[in-house]
Structure 1
Amino acid sequence: MTWAIRPQGSAWLHRAQVPLQVALYVGLFLLSEQLVSWLHLPLPANIVGMLLLLAMIMLHVLPLGWVKAGAGWLLAEMLLFFVPAVVAVVNYGDLLRVEGWRILLVIGVSTMLVLAATSLVVERVYRFELWLSARKQGASDE
């Protein structure tokens, strides 16, 4: 008898899991919006929400399994989030055929500039960390 009840209960739980997890994401976003507003944080609410979610997972407040199915569903349905961009490409096809190479050139150059600037900043910070470490090591040797 327990075998008959168990699959039905787990099937119901499995179907309810994704909507509950998506509701958790929405609630976390609303909370992060309030935090950004109250604390006057310079970060957008979605970044604060992701950092809160990461902290809850890392601190084992929220098990990874509790958010995995909802995240998988959102990633699987991500095309829906890009429908407006696809519609814009279809509506402005003539513009893209004429000016598309310029748009791609701007995207390519700007991506390369961002990558170069990021690598320079990372390199400088790494050298600064090495300098601080050597300075700390020299101070402890004396």
Structure 2
Amino acid sequence: LTNLETLDLSFNRIEKIGGLDTLRNLKTLYLVHNKIRKIENLDHLNKLELLELGDNRIRCIENIDKLTQLKKLFLGANQIRMIENLDRLTNLAVLSLPGNAIKKMEGLSKLVTLQELILSQNGIQNIEDDEKKRAKW
């Protein structure tokens, strides 16, 4: 499976991301509708361009700073409260976070390649925050 470029493990009962160490050519990974609580064990997937982790139990965006080729990140229907730890994703064009618990639009100013941002169904109360005042986007 070392040449595998796409892997779809959606709609399973996966609780922890693991066992992907040999998939160094993976470009697309779908883990939708599982029981994942933490983003982890993806550091070696340096060719990954699309990561779909929607409908899990993730509370925090973490451990993805080495995925520098990532272009599309889907984290809808989780329990995420803050947009954070995305600074190193310099190729990110799509960030999809609908159906989470995000209250403030912050942590976005360094995402200069971002073309599509989806934050519906989060309970955001105000788009005028300190970060927006500092960095005009």
Q: TM-score, normalised by structure 2?
A: 0.21
Which is strand-richer, 1 or 2? Answer: 2
- Give the structure with the higher percent helix: 1
TM-score normalised to structure 1 length: 0.21
User: Of the two structures, which has the highest relative contact order with CA contacts closer than 8 Å and spacing of 6 or more?
Assistant: 1
